[in-house]
Amino acid sequence: MNDLKRTRIFVDCHVFDGGFQGTRTYIKGLYSVLVQDRSRDFFLAACNVEKLKAEFGEQPNITYIQYPGESKIKRLLFDLPRLLKKHKIDYAHFQYRVPPVKVCKYIVTTHDVLFEDFPEFFPKLNRLQSRITYKYSARMSDIVFTVSSYSKNEISQYLGVTDAIVMPNGVDDIFFETYDKTQIKQEVAQSYGLGDYLIYISRLEPRKNQHLVLQHFIDLELYKTRQLVFVGHETFYIPELHKILDGLSSDIKKRIIFIEHLAYPEMIKLLRGSSAFIYPSIAEGFGIPPLEAAAAGIPVLCSNQTAMSDFTFFGNNLFDPSNEKEFKEKLLRIATSAPNETQLNSLQQTVKENYNWENAARIFNSSIKER
């Protein structure tokens, strides 16, 4: 250890240079708790350091490091090994992929290996690269974290690592804060021109199933009384989604809004102002967005597949995305029914008790001590 045994932990935060996604939420939630331990020093690295400072603030035990460029290959091969040596790092924490050169103890969080069970949703080159780099990274790391029992089993089967530690995601405290719904809706109407709307917050890619929501939103003619909002950037091209959009009239298209990049407070505002949150994903290693929506007191319609099968507390608002009849019926119901406040409050409490970053931090700290 260095500096009177103060543990020095490096965190690769390059994901903050892009849009919202699960790994960004994961790092923000976990390290917002961990950095409160003043006996450790944390080194957070990204290209856009100002974004990181906005998320974690200026604290005496946080050092912000700016990557010299955005090249992923250069970062892994050259920048990271050099920075880890320069700052005498004890533990370096990465998401999915670690540098090929080992200069300290590595921690990797492998959130999922969905490309193995669902290859049809991932480009061939992406699958090949992921298969090689995920396996190498998991086997090279001193600690492998994952976020669900489903993912732990997949990691054991496909990566050959049997001792991955399950550290479930938490939900940021900000989602549980009380707010004035009427005021939020007024602010959203003024800023975005939105009235009554359904929302789906996630990257756009085939397995996320945005096209399913869009198709039935149109089939049910929900556009006549409400809007549909997609928040997230397109990671992989979705031909079905674009085909549907290309066939719509300009009047209907106006009722469908895509927002690629959004500041965190604005994303939360849009979530709070929505009538319902729709999450028809076919496969997830965890699936935190529906939990965040439930924490915010928003009615949630959620897929029951893969890791999301654990979310039994959603009850009749779970559905099989391959059963379009079931989805269509439930989408109509949640879009047109008044929210059950008692049920929403109960769901909010369930999420708070079972999915919090303090619990994740305890698992992290325990794992570090055992090494």
State the 10-residue block means of pLDDT for the chain, 371 residues long.
Answer: 76 89 88 96 97 95 95 94 98 98 97 95 93 97 97 97 97 96 98 98 95 98 98 92 97 97 92 99 95 98 97 98 98 97 98 96 92 66
For residue 1, tell me if it sits in a domain: no
Q: Do 265 and 320 belong together in one domain?
A: yes
Q: Which of 145, 280, 152 is nearest to 217 (CA)?
A: 280
Tokens of 337: 């029914």
For residue 136, the model assigns a pLDDT of 97
Residues near 126 by beta carbon (within 8 Å), at least 6 away in sequence: 115, 236
Q: Do 324 and 302 belong together in one domain?
A: yes
Report the chain's terminal Cα–Cα distance, integer Å: 13
Q: Do 346 and 364 belong together in one domain?
A: no
48-60 pLDDT tens trace: 999 999 999 999 9
Collapsed DSSP state (helix, strand, coil) of residue 237: coil
Q: Do 152 and 211 belong together in one domain?
A: no
For residue 293, tell me if it sits in a domain: yes
175-192 pLDDT tens trace: 999 999 999 999 999 999
29 neighbors 295 (Cβ within 8 angstroms):
no
Q: Do 241 and 362 belong together in one domain?
A: no
Give the amino acid at 51.
K
For residue 2, tell me if it sits in a domain: no
Q: Do 221 and 337 belong together in one domain?
A: yes
Q: What number of residues does the chain have?
A: 371
CATH number for the domain harbouring residue 13: 3.40.50.2000
Q: Do 276 and 192 belong together in one domain?
A: yes
Distance of CA 61 to the CA centre of its chain: 26
Tokens of 85: 């040596």
Collapsed DSSP state (helix, strand, coil) of residue 110: coil
Distance, in Å, from the CA atom of 102 to the CA atom of 90, rounded to the nearest integer, reads: 11
Distance, in Å, from the CA atom of 224 to the CA atom of 147, rounded to the nearest integer, reads: 40
Distance of CA 110 to the CA centre of its chain: 13
- Cα→Cα distances 62→10, 43, 69, 161, 357, Å: 10, 6, 21, 32, 19
Distance, in Å, from the CA atom of 326 to the CA atom of 342, rounded to the nearest integer, reads: 25
For residue 91, tell me if it sits in a domain: yes
For residue 371, the model assigns a pLDDT of 66
Count how many domains the chain has.
2
Q: Do 133 and 191 belong together in one domain?
A: no
For residue 4, the model assigns a pLDDT of 59
For residue 305, tell me if it sits in a domain: yes
For residue 2, the model assigns a pLDDT of 47
For residue 1, the model assigns a pLDDT of 43
Residue range of the domain that includes 325: 173-354
**Phi, psi at 322, each rounded to 5°:** -80, -15
Strand partners, 143: 107
Q: Do 332 and 208 belong together in one domain?
A: yes
Strands 318-319 and 300-303: parallel
For residue 81, tell me if it sits in a domain: yes
